[in-house]
Structure 1
Amino acid sequence: MSTAPRSSPGPSATTSSDAPDDAHPSFSQRVRNLVLRAAIDTRPLGLPAFRRLWIGQAVSFTGFQLTSVAISVQVYDLTKSSLWVGLLGPANLVPLIVFGLWGGAVADMMDRRRLLIMASLVTWVSTLGLLAQSLLHVGSVSLIIGLVVVQAVGFAISSPTRGAVIPRLLPVRLVPAANTLNFTASQVATFIGPVLAGVVIGHGGYAVAYGIDAVLFTVGLYAAVRLPALPPIGGEIRRAGLRSVVEGLRFLLTRPVLMMSFVVDIIAMGVAMPRALFPEVAETRFGGEEAVGWLVAAIAIGAVIGGLVSGWIGRIQRQGIALIAVIVVWGLAVAASGLAGSLWLAVLLLAVGGAADLVSAVFRQTILQTYAPDEMRGRLQGVFTVVVAGGPRLGDLRAGVTASIAGATASWTGGGLVCAGLVVVAGLAVPSFRRYTASTRGPADERG
């Protein structure tokens, strides 16, 4: 029997003792791999159209937040009345509800690029109007509120349109990452905008604030102009009206998975949001007005940090049960923060809640965008806009009324606990929502 010759290793051969042990990576390699898996997924930014849209939204939303603060301060400066400042709430909310639903319907009926440009122009014109009234020292509160209404109309139409655009720009597997990037950027803007407003108003006045917003908004307008044409799939362009809005609502009511994605958000914000209690608790427990700023900022800070370590979100398949879990975390974090005796502990717990809220928003938006058919996405994004705008305001009302009856601590902590319990009960009541996975691509049989 012959044996094959065994070649001896040459000078360039690698012995087993010198070869890297891929099966047993070093500690530094394990840490690096963990960081890479946890870091925010930036792959959607590789697509130029989405990258421009993302940058435009982040920059223009910072200006939007700057202007929001400037408007409130200017109205109070003119009237010395918190009532007039409070009227800015319905001036924003009513157009968001009406035109959010209508704008979503329009987004299903016409080229979404064209609609986004038109809505952006409406918002931009309102900002230029605010700049003009400040430069001319008009001093009319009614004019300011009218311009706020116009601004809200533009935002109400552009927001659902932008949400409906994303699934047309990206493959389905990158939609969760795209939503994470968007929500993280929005939270950064929510934090930076008001801080910038304080500096700008204090040193330059209202006109400078509105002027900065107008300049920043051109970035978002440019991004919309550079989008590709996005006509309705199939090319059919129809007129949007009340009937199309009703069609969207009827579709939503017959799809438990989509309906539950909205219900759990209303529970999270309407039952647990403690924002209206921050001034009272800051004064009675944490020593004054300075604490209010930290309490308000805590949720946004947590959301930004959560976004930066969100690389795992796109790998979650069972998005229904995951959504229930993160809202439970939100509710329990809010409940615990309501019992905190230290400001920094309360801020830390609210930040945990903010991180959970960001993950919740990503899952809800992703379910909507990937489950709903394209011809319904605009209308459902309109509902999403209404829920996102209205939920926290319902939470403010709930918190205030409950605090007047049972006290601030009971309202704050009780709201968080009730939220956690309700979302579990709601999830158990709809098996199709619990079973929902990222591989589901449309409204299949939902008898559960």
Structure 2
Amino acid sequence: MSEQSGWRARIAALRMDFSPLRVSRDYRYLTFSGAITMFGSYVTFIAVPIQMKELTGSPAAVGLVALAEFIPMILCGLYGGALADALDRRKIVIWCEVGLMVCTGGLLLNSMLPTPQVWVLYVVAAGVASFDALQRPSLDGLVPRYLPHSMMASAGALNSLRWNFGAIAGPAMGGLLVQFAGFQWAYFLDVLTFGLSLLLLLRMRPSPPTEKAEAAGLRSIATGIRYAATRPDLAGTYLVDIVAMAMAMPQALFPFLVDRLQAPWALGLMYSAGAVGALLAALTSGWTHKVHRHGMAVILAAAAWGAVMAVAGLTTSLWLVLVCLVLAGVFDMISGLFRSVIWNQSIPDELRGRLAGIELLSYSAGPMLGNARAGLMAQWTGVPAAIVSGGLLCTAGVAALAAWLPAFRHYDARTDEHVLREATRRQATTTPD
């Protein structure tokens, strides 16, 4: 093989695998629906903290928006997982999408008042967290039903691509709409995207529960928790992500960080920077098929996330901050991809919804707690100290968890008994369209 051919082969190995979109019509609808919803949701995601900042001028008030989401997310996430295993997952996704659209309609109406009310932002934040937590386990549980076991890594990269599209374009559009048209137009756009998403979701085939399904309730939830407790490798995916996000998530401080850097025009760039990094990682994700030590990959990526966040807090250069946030997005995407591969390759389908509910707590509770921590700490110590300390605590915490969880550290998909068992079962039952 010539040197030129060798380089072409290496570049080809990095390319994203789009085969899941070709294999399954239902997965295509699910992916495009999610991309549309994510775009609109990120428009609102940037509009709410800006509106809260304008109404209160308080970093703590902005951070407490995440805290208002925390308890509903915990309660509804666990129950949403039980519902996903007991009922038709497609129907749950559709009804929750309707609920999210109604919540955003509340933000739209509030923004049209002569004096928008702060309490409405908190109440709607709690409502959105509730519907999102009820919906997410069913969304995650649909992917293994629509695709074969061997495509889980590719599906993880495509899901990240969908998320990154919204996380890049949404904040940019949200910032422009808020600045030049007003909050009401940002919220109106989000309502519209929910409507378009529903049209696609309605075209998917039903996804009824398995024959082994339990009725949704406390006993069903307890079954899922007991299963997770027997799997140290799963515990590692949850705990590492919670520590990383709870310690080093700084998004609540972005409206104040741009003021400190005297660059208010860059707020949308800050919110989008992490997604740009994640997109770059997703588009070059072909190499992930060659990685089998998924636990170690999660550990290294999460520790690196904390390190670059600490650097972002130390610098006074806007462009260096943006570079750090892009790198943080790269490491966050790598961590998330390998966590999703562990989940989707090793968890039995009859438990997938309940375990997705637990996963939701790990990857949602962390950012919520992290934003609340950052906002409250910045109120007392200032924005830079809040970001730097969080990054350092993240790296130290991840290192401690890696030492404490050797089963997670040594996880290998080639030899793991749960992965091998699920691969055999799905090979006989999965029928992509």
TM-score range, shorter chain: 0.7 to 0.9
The structure-2 alpha-carbon separation of the partners of 1:415 and 1:130, relative to structure 1 and needing over 3 Å to count, comes to closer
Matches within 5 A, 1:154-193: 154-193=131-170
- Asked whether 1:344 is paired with 2:310, we answer no
After superposing the two structures, state which structure 1 stretch, 395-404 or 47-56, moved more: 395-404
CA contact (8 A) 1:107 1:379 kept: yes
CA distance in structure 2 between the partners assigned to 1:109 and 1:96 by the alignment: 19
In the TM superposition, what whole-angstrom CA distance separates every residue of 1:267-311 from its partner, at most 9, and x where no partner exists? 211223344555666555x44544555444332221121111111
CA distance in structure 2 between the partners assigned to 1:407 and 1:128 by the alignment: 35
Q: Which of the pair has more CA radius of gyration? A: 1
Q: Quick check: which one's helix share is greater?
A: 2
The structure-2 alpha-carbon separation of the partners of 1:278 and 1:216, relative to structure 1 and needing over 3 Å to count, comes to closer
- Asked whether 1:366 is paired with 2:337, we answer no
CA distance in structure 2 between the partners assigned to 1:350 and 1:142 by the alignment: 31
What residue identity is the alignment partner of 2:227? F
CA contact (8 A) 1:173 1:314 kept: no
CA distance in structure 2 between the partners assigned to 1:88 and 1:32 by the alignment: 48
CA distance in structure 2 between the partners assigned to 1:312 and 1:168 by the alignment: 25
- How much does 1:243 deviate? 2.5
What residue identity is the alignment partner of 1:311? G
CA contact (8 A) 2:62 2:375 kept: no
Alignment match of 1:219 (pick from 181, 196, 199):
196
CA distance in structure 2 between the partners assigned to 1:338 and 1:76 by the alignment: 21
What residue identity is the alignment partner of 1:389? S
CA contact (8 A) 1:338 1:413 kept: yes
Once superposed, what is the RMSD of the aligned Cα atoms?
A: 3.2
After superposing the two structures, state which structure 1 stretch, 325-334 or 38-47, moved more: 325-334
The structure-2 alpha-carbon separation of the partners of 1:357 and 1:145, relative to structure 1 and needing over 3 Å to count, comes to closer
- Asked whether 1:195 is paired with 2:172, we answer yes
The structure-2 alpha-carbon separation of the partners of 1:340 and 1:131, relative to structure 1 and needing over 3 Å to count, comes to closer
In the TM superposition, what whole-angstrom CA distance separates every residue of 1:123-179 from its partner, at most 9, and x where no partner exists? 223334544566687955555654444333221111121011111111112111111
| Matched-pair identity in % | 33
- How much does 1:402 deviate? 6.0
Partner of 2:426: none
CA distance in structure 2 between the partners assigned to 1:323 and 1:253 by the alignment: 19
| Structure 2, unaligned runs of 5 or more | 422-433
CA distance in structure 2 between the partners assigned to 1:288 and 1:268 by the alignment: 27
Partner of 1:13: none
In the TM superposition, what whole-angstrom CA distance separates every residue of 1:179-219 from its partner, at most 9, and x where no partner exists? 11112321231222122123334454444333322222133
Q: With a CA cutoff of 8 Å and minimum separation of 6, indicate the structure with the bigger relative contact order.
A: 2
Matches within 5 A, 1:163-312: 163-234=140-211, 236-275=212-251, 278=254, 282=258, 286-290=261-265, 293-312=268-287
CA distance in structure 2 between the partners assigned to 1:265 and 1:68 by the alignment: 21
- How much does 1:226 deviate? 2.3
CA distance in structure 1 between the partners assigned to 2:262 and 2:50 by the alignment: 24
How many pairs are equivalent?
418
Partner of 1:151: 128
What residue identity is the alignment partner of 1:112? R
- How much does 1:343 deviate? 2.9
What residue identity is the alignment partner of 1:250? R
Task: Give the alignment's TM-score, normalised by structure 2.
Answer: 0.84
SS at match of 1:67: helix
| Structure 1, unaligned runs of 5 or more | 1-23
CA distance in structure 2 between the partners assigned to 1:141 and 1:407 by the alignment: 24
What residue identity is the alignment partner of 2:224? G
- How much does 1:428 deviate? 3.0
CA distance in structure 1 between the partners assigned to 2:377 and 2:116 by the alignment: 38
